[in-house]
A and B are shown apart, each in its own frame.
Chain A
């Protein structure tokens, strides 16, 4: 099943930041409810944008969201101290967003992750920066899987983000990621592929058609999760439709349900 990580509760979004600063729990709960109704499998929570307030903001957000969330949360911070605090607060096994191979981040995250039963997003990034080729992405993916297995994570808990980059800067950026995802899924069939998609369309007009087309291609290559805005009904409809076309929807049940609910339009 394709898993949607709803990305909206992020204090770098202006309305969310205002709501968090004002401790406006009705706004946050309403937004979360909409994301749940739209089919989110995880709700991402990022409290990083109000510098110096991450600890209190994260606590308040978790207190606000947890009573109404029917799905697990995706705890989004580079700081293991914040994550440790957040991890203790959540009831359902969370997803952690994220670890990477950047030395400092990696070394800070490993002790936090060790022995914890949680899902973990691994960014295919190291101290050399963004990956520049398919081989780069694959090598980093292999390293992440190996390191996470070493501390007891099973492959089914690992969600790799191959780091989509703007096709406006290099016409090969789409195929670079698609080929890498195919190869990673070949080597590690149980590992999940996730990530943001909208980077692909940066610098081009009419971005949403690019994002939608790309998610379908990525799903064929093996992507089975994405960090997106679930209130973008067109991309959600594309995901449901592609999932059906890829053989993941028995008797086209979810597709038909989506159509009847008015969520999928031609």
Chain B
């Protein structure tokens, strides 16, 4: 196997049994697990993210692809060194205080994780203080904030302000998203990035890490 096209295509096609088979075949051919992960699965999820952004693939298919990928990562995990799996950066993600919506936030977290980063999902109703503490504790590169209500959008700014007060602001990039959130709002509150969907979120997160 000189390239990973078949793995990528099978992942995009959401065929989990075939994908697991292909990964096992590749391991038998002595292809390093780290290459299968990075050049096959993560590269495949990049395509999935792009197709999602272009509305060629939809949430249920993205979930299927992520599930297929996750089964393969289970196969690869024992063969990966800590260095192999820690290269992608660390993200803490959560829905801001006062807001209990989690579907979009979980989807973004899952896609970023599938993109090869370590994701700490803090859940919903996360206070600015919790974001700061967790970002410090996990040594995060990126903080992702979600809000689904116009009434909780101001909490995004409060969270960003709390990060600034904590002295962490230079060490992390902050991304915001959620149905009522716009690029203009992101600019206004001093966020570093905005994404309209999970596909573009993973792209933006990767751009910050590279």
- Given A49-B150, A51-B150, A51-B153, verify A169-B103 contact (CB < 8 Å): yes
A205 within 8 A of B: yes
Q: For A165, list chain B residues within 8 Å (CB).
A: 103
Interface of B is mostly: loop
Question: A12–B150 contact, CB under 8 A?
Answer: yes
Number of A-B contacts (CB under 8 A): 46
Most chain A CB atoms below 10 A, which of B55, B151, B153, B154: B151
Question: A125–B100 contact, CB under 8 A?
Answer: yes
A130 within 8 A of B: yes
Q: For A111, list chain B residues within 8 Å (CB).
A: none
* Complex CA distance for A102 and B58, rounded to whole angstroms: 32
- Interchain CB contact (< 8 A) of B60 among A51, A128, A130, A203: A203
Q: For B100, list chain A residues within 8 Å (CB).
A: 102, 125, 127-130
- Interchain CB contact (< 8 A) of B124 among A49, A129, A203: A129
* Complex CA distance for A12 and B102, rounded to whole angstroms: 20
| Residue interface bits B47-60, CB-to-A below 8 A is 1, else 0 | 00000000100111
Question: B151–A168 contact, CB under 8 A?
Answer: no
Residues of A130-161 at the interface with B, using a CB-CB cut-off of 8 Å, are 130
Question: A169–B58 contact, CB under 8 A?
Answer: no
Q: For B60, list chain A residues within 8 Å (CB).
A: 168-169, 171, 203-204
A174 within 8 A of B: no
Question: B180–A204 contact, CB under 8 A?
Answer: no
Query: Within the complex, what minimum Cβ distance (angstroms) separates A5 from chain B?
Result: 19
B80 within 8 A of A: no
Please, which residue of chain B has its CB at the minimum distance from the CB of A203?
B59
A258 within 8 A of B: no
Please, which residue of chain A has its CB at the minimum distance from the CB of B63?
A169
* Complex CA distance for A165 and B102, rounded to whole angstroms: 11
A166 within 8 A of B: yes
Most chain B CB atoms below 10 A, which of A12, A102, A168: A168
Q: For A48, list chain B residues within 8 Å (CB).
A: 150-151
B39 within 8 A of A: no
Question: A166–B103 contact, CB under 8 A?
Answer: yes
Question: B150–A168 contact, CB under 8 A?
Answer: no
Question: A129–B150 contact, CB under 8 A?
Answer: no
- Interchain CB contact (< 8 A) of B55 among A102, A130, A168, A205: A205
Q: For B58, list chain A residues within 8 Å (CB).
A: 168, 203-205
- Interchain CB contact (< 8 A) of A166 among B55, B59, B180: B59
Most chain B CB atoms below 10 A, which of A48, A129, A166, A203: A203
| Residue interface bits B94-138, CB-to-A below 8 A is 1, else 0 | 000000111100010000000000000000110000000000000
Most chain A CB atoms below 10 A, which of B103, B125, B180: B103
* Complex CA distance for A51 and B153, rounded to whole angstroms: 9
* Complex CA distance for A171 and B55, rounded to whole angstroms: 20
Q: In the complex, given contacts A48-B150, A78-B151, what are 18 additional A-B residue pairs having Cβ atoms less than 8 angstroms apart? A: A12-B150, A49-B150, A49-B180, A51-B150, A51-B153, A51-B154, A102-B100, A125-B100, A128-B100, A130-B101, A130-B102, A166-B59, A169-B59, A171-B60, A202-B59, A204-B58, A204-B60, A205-B55
Question: Would you give 15 A-B contacts (Cβ < 8 Å), ordered by A?
Answer: A51-B150, A78-B151, A127-B100, A128-B100, A129-B124, A129-B125, A130-B101, A165-B103, A166-B59, A169-B59, A169-B107, A202-B59, A203-B58, A203-B59, A205-B58
A residues in contact (CB < 8 Å) with B: 12, 48-49, 51, 78, 102, 125, 127-130, 165-166, 168-169, 171, 202-205
B residues in contact (CB < 8 Å) with A: 55, 58-60, 63, 100-103, 107, 124-125, 150-151, 153-154, 180
